[in-house]
A and B are shown apart, each in its own frame.
Chain A
Amino acid sequence: MLYAFVLFPLVGALAAWVIPSQRLRPRILPVVGAVHLAITLAVLADTPPLSPEGWVGLDPLGKIVLLSISLLFLACAVYAVGYLAYRQERSNRVLCMGVLVCLSAMTLVTMSRHLGLLWVALETTTVSMAPLVYFNKNARSIEATWKYLLICSVGIALALLGLFFLAYSTIVAGQIEPTLLLDPLIASAGKLHPAWLHAAFIFLLVGFGSKMGLAPLHTWKPDAYGEAPGLVGALLSGGLVNCAFLAVLRVYQICAASGAELVFFRNALMALGFVSMAFAAVFMVRQTDFKRMLAWSSVEHVGILAVALGLGKGALFGALFHVLNNGLSKGVLFLSSGNIHRSYNSKTTDVVRGALRRLPWSGALFLAGFIAITGSPPFSPFLSEYQIVSSAFMQGSGRAGAAFLLLLAVVFIGMASTVLPLVLGDPPKELQASEYRERFLTVGPPLFLMGIILMLGVWIPEPLLVLLRDGAALLEATR
């Protein structure tokens, strides 16, 4: 059942390969996206049992990430139909296939119970996204693709070494069956050899951290996000980031079970998280390229996630909720910024002004997305960030809480100084008319995501609340 769920986007990819028509091909995406969301909701309500050999199964952590990916993908898929209609000059075969292969791999990431399988799926997401970053086929996008491919590949190779160390720690410890299956590892975490476990955690954190884009391993991020089309940026920042974060969560679970390593791992996460937020705060100020600005916002938010994991306890709930909120808000921002980019044919603030006048829907969505992502009520990122900050103060780490708030404020000011002139005021007079018109297909998807964020900010459905609590309970230290 779950295997079929992983494989069916690949059938879509095959169909995208076979269909000769430029115009019809993108329509596969919403079909696959809608079916994917339907199956996701079905397996969330009625979870299939673990596969017999224990490799594939869904737990609350996987479910949260699966839900965020599925919602985001459906929005991106519908958007793709509208977007690609404006890009008839380029073949969209590779884009359609890459997106679907990536969806399959992301689904596999969420349900892997074997860390080796998780690694393979994660690396597949990296490779399948590379040709998509290069969609615009110019000198700048090739540079971005090269950096993305090389840094992520090397990073994820180091994570493989970390996995080997983890497996070796079971061998050195003796008495335990050597394995990389998650459940036996968690069960026997206390008996693993501590030195190898320590080395494993360092390499896993560096490896998955570079894929997530935690500073100082984030250097590929502004380039790749800046040059990729909006919908690819949305999938990178809301899909791949969440998958890499799930990998970090798996490592965290083993840490929490081993007990001894947890303090070290938490401190390391906290440090990397604050460094990421600080980098983002510095580079966000006076950023003239709004897509790069969104990339820095992504660096900031993976920092927030890392800090929340580092804090532990009540912040864990906030972290898991933020996974969902960040992914969906990034979807709103990247999709609406794609529209703005299309209409102005530029992504720098010296040309792009007065977006609210020129593009009332996309401009408003971009503004609303900015308000949401910076953590203002009534949107849901406010709730998750509030949860994290209040947990920091309740645990008595007031300094961490204060630093967190300060960095959020700096980021808010930095981002506002780019976003506000961009959406407000009058469009430049010398600007040529563009063929881009606001249509349902390009405005509807970000509107749909914005609606979810607003809803979650006001009211969290009971099943989701239970899911988040169960997930946080899995991450709590058991010893």
Chain B
Amino acid sequence: MNSLADQLLVLVMLINFVVLGSSRLAFCIQAVAAQGVILGLLPGIIHPFSWHLAGITACILLAKGLIIPWLINDATRKAQIKREVEPFVGYVTTLLLGAVFTAMAFVFAERLPLAPAHKDLLVVPASIATLLTGFLVLTTRRKAISQVIGYLVLENGIFIFGLLLTEAMPVMVEAGVLLDLLVGIFVMGIVINQISHEFSTIDTSLLSALKEES
């Protein structure tokens, strides 16, 4: 089953590039949702069946595939924006950087002292690559919604690493992490609405009134 898991992880990394290269926010949100769904399916593929696993898979699919995309879409619709217009760094540059980061993730993962059972899996490079992509989106985009998408991609990257540790992470904690993520996105969605209400845009570079006076 591990080859299937690896193929899905490659797909996850390809989705990273979709998020990096697309200016249409609705498309980005769908891409992140698809990424979340794939990640939700992965534990079921890697590990043998158990009710605990089925429950957590259902929760992840529901949260990452349905609720979170719906929350962000809702915020986008209310703020009436469709595109990330002027990122701080252009799309071509971020795509190239994303490629460099992914390559670096593979080189780096080669050198990590992994447990023998995990040596041949793509989990660690995929995790690092996704994490770095999330950071890239967070730091290079202006729109608040793009930053939320970046945060989600970052969380997805961390989640991939979590695949290696289902023994150490009890269900309660996994559910708690998911719930916190959900509520966090919910609150961010509300804040985005308020930003668009107050500034008639959700360009976060306008959020610069608070600084030290020199």
Contact = CB atoms under 8 A, between A and B. Distances in A.
A119 B161 contact: no
A193 interface: yes
B204 interface: yes
Contacts of A386: none
Residue from A126, A144, A168, A222 whose CB has the most chain B CB atoms within 10 Å: A168
Residue from B138, B183, B194 whose CB has the most chain A CB atoms within 10 Å: B194
A179 interface: yes
B173 A116 contact: yes
A392 interface: no
Given A116-B176, A120-B176, A139-B199, A171 B115 contact: yes
Contacts of A130: 187, 191
A404 B212 CA distance: 24
B151 A154 contact: yes
A382 B183 CA distance: 41
Interface in A140-190: 140, 142-147, 149-150, 153-154, 157, 160-161, 164, 167-168, 170-172, 174, 178-180
B213 A288 contact: yes
Interface string A187-230: 00000010110000000000000000000000000110011000
B165 interface: yes
Nearest to A116: B173
A171 B164 contact: yes
Contacts of A288: 213
A137 interface: yes
A34 to B, nearest CB: 28
B180 A123 contact: yes
Nearest to B213: A288
B167 A178 contact: yes
Nearest to A145: B191
A114 interface: yes
Interface in A115-130: 116-117, 119-120, 123-124, 126-127, 130
B90 interface: no
Interface residues of A, number: 50
Given A143-B209, A146-B191, A149-B188, A157 B155 contact: yes
A478 interface: no
A167 B191 contact: no
Contacts of A223: 210
Contacts of A139: 198-199, 209
Nearest to A161: B158
B175 to A, nearest CB: 9
A164 B158 contact: yes
Given A146-B144, A160-B177, A161-B131, A171 B155 contact: no
A131 interface: yes
Interface string B137-177: 01000001001000100110010011011011110110011
Contacts of B113: 172, 193, 195-196
A149 B192 CA distance: 11
A134 interface: yes
B89 interface: no
B109 to A, nearest CB: 13
A171 B176 contact: no
A146 B158 CA distance: 22
A130 B187 CA distance: 8
B99 interface: no
B158 A131 contact: no
A140 B209 contact: yes
A119 B173 CA distance: 9
Residue from A116, A124, A157, A222 whose CB has the most chain B CB atoms within 10 Å: A157
Interface residues of chain A: helix, strand, loop or mixed (majority):
helix
Interface string B172-214: 1100110110011001101100110011000010011110110
B131 A134 contact: no
A283 interface: yes
B118 to A, nearest CB: 8
B210 A227 contact: yes
B180 A124 contact: yes
B96 interface: no
A138 interface: yes
A195 B108 CA distance: 13
Contact of B169 (A116, A138, A172, A174): A116
B11 interface: no
Contacts of B154: 154, 157
A172 B158 CA distance: 18
A180 B168 contact: yes
Given A140-B210, A143-B207, A127 B187 contact: yes
Contact of B210 (A168, A195, A222): A222
A149 B189 CA distance: 11
A164 B162 contact: yes
B188 to A, nearest CB: 6
Contacts of A116: 169-170, 173, 176-177
Contacts of A164: 158, 161-162, 164-165
B114 interface: yes
A114 B173 contact: yes
A146 B213 CA distance: 21
A100 to B, nearest CB: 15
Nearest to A224: B210
28 contacts: A116-B169, A120-B180, A123-B177, A123-B180, A124-B180, A124-B183, A127-B187, A131-B187, A134-B191, A137-B194, A139-B199, A139-B209, A143-B208, A147-B207, A149-B188, A149-B191, A154-B151, A157-B151, A164-B164, A167-B169, A174-B115, A179-B168, A180-B168, A193-B113, A196-B113, A226-B210, A227-B210, A287-B212
Given A120-B177, A131-B187, A154-B138, 12 more contacts: A120-B179, A131-B190, A139-B209, A142-B207, A146-B195, A149-B184, A160-B177, A161-B161, A168-B165, A172-B115, A180-B169, A292-B212
In order of increasing CB-CB distance, the 5 nearest A-B pairs are A116-B173, A120-B176, A167-B168, A178-B168, A143-B207
